[in-house]
Structure 1
Amino acid sequence: MALNIKDPEADRLARALAAATGESITVAARAAFAERLARVQAQDAAPGVLAELESIIARARQRETLDGRPADEILGYDDAGLPT
């Protein structure tokens, strides 16, 4: 299936991209379409990923604290920040 784009700005951009990359207009346009589609699909997936991360964070916050000592004490550092 062929594309027939009759927009002067689209033609100018396609030619400029092809010239900048050293590719044919077809190859440059195909790559541009693929890259844009990947970005759009990634944006569509982002809300699901964000919801899953929020769920993980909520579950982690509900976990019981196994050791009530401060992190510096657990790691073995004194008030001067030196290992004990």
Structure 2
Amino acid sequence: MGAQLNIKSEDAYRLASRLSELTGESLTTVVTRALQSELDREQRLRDKAAMKADLLAIAADIKANMPDDVTSDHNWLYDDETGLPK
């Protein structure tokens, strides 16, 4: 027999048993699938948080290296008389 997991919770046993009844799968299968699902969800959350931190660091680096006189005025790109791009 392989490794064992002994959970001393009536709620956990009840939930696993009910899911096992609904799916027709063994208790081991439903517990394994539920744990894998939760692990996948947690990993996705951490991956998103890491990506957000990376993007914020990149933005901070860009901001730190931008000249102080940068504005949103882009009039120099357009002709004063026609308003068309130069």
Once residues 26 and 50 of structure 2 are traced to their aligned partners in structure 1, the CA distance between those partners, rounded to angstroms, is: 37
- The root-mean-square deviation of aligned C-alpha atoms, in Å, is 3.0
**1:20–1:56 distance in 2 versus 1, CA, 3 Å:** farther
Q: How many residues align?
A: 68
Provide, for residues 31-57 of structure 1, a one-character-per-residue CA deviation record: whole Å limited to 9, x for no partner: 001000111111112112123445677
- The corresponding residue for 1:49 is 51
Please show how residues 10-25 of structure 1 align to structure 2 within 5 Å.
10-25=12-27
Tell me the percent identity: 35
| TM-score, reference length from structure 1 | 0.59
Q: Tell which structure's C-alpha radius of gyration is larger.
A: 2
Question: What TM-score results when the alignment is normalised by the length of structure 2?
Answer: 0.58
**Where in structure 1 are there 5+ consecutive unaligned residues?**
63-67, 70-84
